[in-house]
A and B are shown apart, each in its own frame.
Chain A
Amino acid sequence: MSAQGFANSEQGDILEVSLEKIEGLLKGDYGVSKRTIGLLLLQGDDEITALAESREPDNMSEIKEIINYTGKHYVQPLSYIITLRRQEEASRITGIAVEHLPKANLAFREKLSRVMINPLTGVPILLFVLYYGIYKFVGEFGAGTLVDFIETGIFEKNINPWATQIIKPIIPWQAVRELFVGEYGMITLGVRYAVAIILPVVTTFFVAFAIIEDAGYLPRLALLIDRLFKKIGLTGRAVIPMVLGLGCDTMATMVTRTLPTKRERIIATILLALAVPCSAQLGVILSLLEGNPRGLTVWACAVSLVFLLVGFLSAQILPGDSPSFYMEIPPLRMPKLSNVFIKTYTRVKWYFTEIFPMFILASVLIWIGQLTGLFNLLVKALHSPMRWIGLPDQTAVAFLFGFFRRDYGAAGLYDMKKAALLNGNQLVVACIALTLFLPCIAQFLMNVKERGYKTGVAISVFVLFFSFSAGFLVNFILNILGVSL
């Protein structure tokens, strides 16, 4: 009998002797060695025990006796002893096979890794990553430089006039013409928003995300943020859907599947729907509040406060305990250009093929809504809540668009800012309300799909109510304090 693969058991060892006896008693065919089956039986594996009971009608009682008898000879459970012996064997083999050469590089990486996890040093690093990764790169470069270039340089100067010129002689009816090149036309609005505003923002976000992912920063962020997340009923594991939510909440809601309990998945879904702005929104909001650092601070504080408060309250209300959290930490490494490129490419491709039709569809729906007057009715219905939170009536259009695509709504506000229709306070209030506002239709559908009809709709109604209340409150506070941003 070869002991290979198990242990250097001595002859006469009770476990080994029992195992050999059991092997002798096993008559059925199990597809694997009798030794494996014998070991699993000794370790009390339910599935294999049930299998053996059906295949060993004559010998099973004797086998059970041997298992009982063997178990009594050891203080610890047999599974523990077997695992321990196997690990000893593995350690013996690796001890000979593996040679460790000293490497100075490791020390630095290990130090950097610890610095990232320690709250004292980790939080400044996180802020640094957010400032350069999100604010500078996505906000200023993506949503600023790139959007300006594509929108003004390419669309407004070239594509829009060109499309209008081509469509005009072909389609004589004003109403149908509007569908393509009108104020909310498929080309002038749908394609322009998708390509000029959303594409650069989302692409720069996914580049930033791929870099921090490939560098191995995310698991360290998970450990850093674990303690805070425990307070809001989540664990460090939720860091990936949350960071991903900064890219696309719809995708992030899908990724909440990786969370182990239903409770965590519900909390994460609520927070994503409410207080995590997606990259498209983020980009437009950052460019809306560009040059207004106080406004940006108020917005950031209000949204963070809502995130923590709602998370904390959900954790109190929803039954169940926070699960334990542990994670394997891969080493830090230099991000590889090809990895970053492939990750960004596949994500942008996925995202764009998913949202592009949505934008066109939104344009068509708005066109139908306008033609039938339904849209005006809805916009009018939204006027009073708008006034209630101190915003001009036109904002209603942006909010309604927001439902078709949240970023679409934020982009609508962008147009209003350019036309100087909003003052500083109104801009901040609108940004807060829109950040919190009803998820876009895609995310709404995803909520219902992942959380079920009842929970999905309930979350959406809650978010709708909450966003306006928060907008109202911020507007109220700003007015009382006499602050103008």
Chain B
Amino acid sequence: MKIAIVGSPNVGKSVMFNRLTGSYVTVSNYPGTTVEVSRGRAKIGGWEFEVFDTPGMYSLLPITEEERVARSLLFQEKPDVVIHIIDAKNIERMLPLTLQLIEAKLPVILVLNIIDEAEKIGMRISLEYLSRELKVPVAATVSTTGRGIDILRGRIEEYVRAGIRQ
């Protein structure tokens, strides 16, 4: 099974990738480009996953080569889980990509990363409301300290279990 990590640059994608995969990571260029794609393995809830970290993207309508590569990966690799990582304090600006991923019927989990900074500037975000409104699982994390990672793993597990039952 496959997990894709997507999101705009500087939201902690790579740190999250490292958190989920540990060692055994390979980095290769996407065919015909200089854009690098990291792949690793993760074991969550008894399942083996191949995890890949896509280049930074802002929208499904690409402008840069990185975004083109990220979209191609998403469309072609048929991931079982797509983890969309956003910077929690910039949720309003980053949510449009979540909407696009959901619209594309990709199996999205929304991750509000760097939640500590959002809290520090006085933001309170209702995960329940977001999850209900978007109809996807939502988790709040701080990838650099590891806060919320176990909850994210749990969400991934539930998601895959629900997918299998269907």
B99 pairs with A90, CB closer than 8 A: yes
Most chain B CB within a 10 A radius of its CB, from A4, A30, A43, A106: A4
A97 pairs with B99, CB closer than 8 A: no
- Complex Cα–Cα for A93 and B102 (A): 14
Report chain A residues within 8 Å CB of B75. 30-32
Report chain B residues within 8 Å CB of A94. 91-92, 95
Instruction: Determine the residue in chain A with the shortest Cβ distance to B34.
Output: A257
B125 pairs with A98, CB closer than 8 A: yes
B129 CB-CB contact with A under 8 Å: yes
B120 CB-CB contact with A under 8 Å: yes
> Which B residues between 71 and 121 are near A, CB-CB below 8 angstroms?
74-76, 78, 91-93, 95-96, 98-100, 102-106, 117, 120-121
Residue from A79, A86, A93, A330 in contact with B134 in the complex, judged by beta carbons closer than 8 Å:
A93
> Which A residues between 23 and 48 are near B, CB-CB below 8 angstroms?
30-33, 35-36, 39-40, 43, 45, 47
Report chain A residues within 8 Å CB of B95. 90, 93-94
B135 pairs with A4, CB closer than 8 A: yes
B68 CB-CB contact with A under 8 Å: yes
A105 CB-CB contact with B under 8 Å: yes
B126 CB-CB contact with A under 8 Å: yes
> Which A residues between 81 and 97 are near B, CB-CB below 8 angstroms?
83, 86-87, 89-91, 93-94, 96-97
Instruction: Determine the residue in chain B with the shortest Cβ distance to A101.
Output: B122
A6 CB-CB contact with B under 8 Å: yes
A452 CB-CB contact with B under 8 Å: no
B60 CB-CB contact with A under 8 Å: yes
Measured between C-beta atoms, what is the minimum distance from B129 to chain A in Å? 5
- Complex Cα–Cα for A30 and B95 (A): 24
Query: How many contacting A-B pairs (Cβ < 8 A)?
Result: 100
B96 pairs with A83, CB closer than 8 A: yes
B123 CB-CB contact with A under 8 Å: yes
Measured between C-beta atoms, what is the minimum distance from B19 to chain A in Å? 14
A40 pairs with B60, CB closer than 8 A: yes
- Complex Cα–Cα for A4 and B136 (A): 12
A97 pairs with B125, CB closer than 8 A: yes
A106 pairs with B91, CB closer than 8 A: no
B43 CB-CB contact with A under 8 Å: no
Instruction: Determine the residue in chain B with the shortest Cβ distance to A35.
Output: B103
20 contacts between A and B (CB under 8 A): A4-B102, A5-B100, A6-B103, A31-B75, A31-B76, A35-B104, A40-B60, A45-B61, A47-B68, A86-B96, A86-B99, A90-B93, A93-B95, A96-B129, A97-B133, A98-B125, A98-B126, A100-B122, A100-B124, A105-B120
- A: residues with CB less than 8 A from B are 4-6, 30-33, 35-36, 39-40, 43, 45, 47, 79, 83, 86-87, 89-91, 93-94, 96-103, 105-106, 328, 330-331, 333, 339
Excluding A33-B105, A83-B59, 11 further A-B contacts by CB distance (< 8 Å) are: A31-B76, A32-B75, A39-B103, A40-B61, A43-B61, A86-B99, A94-B95, A97-B126, A100-B123, A101-B124, A103-B122
